[in-house]
Amino acid sequence: MASVKELLVLCTYLFVAVANPFDPKTVMTCSLNSTCSCFKADGFVDLHPISNDNNTPHFRNVTNSPNYIYSYNPCYAFTEGSVCQNAAICQLDTSVNQYYVIGYADTVRSIADSEYGLIFQYTATTDMPLPSTVRTANVILTCDENREGELQFVKEDPIKTYYFNLYSKHACPIPPPPTVPGPKTTPVWTAPPGRPTGPPAPPSPTSVPVIFSLKAVVVLLLCILFVLTFLCGLIILAVCVFSAKFNSTNNDKAELGQSANYSHKDEMKRHLKNEF
């Protein structure tokens, strides 16, 4: 039977090798500068070059099914149909020819996600007054120097929570200008061609380390449960063995006492016979 030490070593190995709790991956936060640009520690992300400013979406007819089509414009709100207004992302249900806003432009948030990386998240509360429905659209920004801009629908999971992948060279951080040595020189940001004026000085970047994943916690809890079960089994076994030995000792003492009583009675009988 394996010892407790061996079981602990095995659990530790499984926890580190399978769950990988100390994931070296870190996700840098990106502080929003506008509805489609933000600062990261390694540079400035700006989606203005792949955004329309004429009330139309830059990305159209994005779909992975025949029933739903999506439109997206990163920087400026647009309108589609009579319902989808002031939107960043719209959904068209082709089976009933109905539009839904799944994200308003002014609700954008920058999220540093441990699984997907940098996300621009949008929300929309629609179908008012009743029943009200909250939809959430997550656009995952994926740096790809070889693509101008390509939006792909990923999934709806859970329901009314949508994920998209935006592959673009404009999702790649633009490094800040180098610092020129000298007592009176100051780095100057020069906006790339086709982009709005340069941003203000970025805030101090922070990073969010990923320490423990859900898988790591589950594996650790299972290991703890296994060790506790093993220890309980050992305790129960020890109690049973001790109880068996204790009962055996008591039985031996009882048999010895009974044998002594029989011997004493026989001796008394012989003594009485001799007297008579």
Domain co-membership, 40 together with 53: yes
Task: Tell me how many domains the chain contains.
Answer: 2
Residues (pLDDT < 50) of the chain are: 1, 13, 15-25, 205-210
Domain co-membership, 120 together with 200: yes
Domain co-membership, 33 together with 19: no
Domain co-membership, 11 together with 89: no
Residues 6+ apart with CB under 8 A from 8: 227
Residue 10: the pLDDT is 58
Domain co-membership, 179 together with 238: no
Q: Tell the residue number behind the tokens 């994920």, with chain if given.
A: 163
Last residue of a domain, one of 181, 210, 239: 210
Residue 18: the pLDDT is 44
Last residue of a domain, one of 163, 182, 210: 210
DSSP secondary structure of 185-210 = ------PPTTS-SPP-PPPPP-EEE-
Range of the domain at 248: 1-23+217-276
Last residue of a domain, one of 210, 235, 262: 210
Sheet of strand 31-34: strand arrangement = 31-34, 37-40, 43-46
Torsion region of 60: left, alpha or beta (phi above 0 gives left; psi -120 to 50 gives alpha): beta
Domain co-membership, 81 together with 106: yes
CA–CA distance, 54 with 105 (Å, rounded to integer): 14
- The partner residues of 110 in beta bridges, in order of sequence, read 120
Domain co-membership, 193 together with 257: no
pTM for the structure as a whole:
0.57
Domain co-membership, 16 together with 36: no
Give pLDDT tens digits for 137-173. Answer: 999 999 999 999 999 999 988 989 999 999 999 999 9
Domain co-membership, 97 together with 232: no
Domain co-membership, 178 together with 268: no
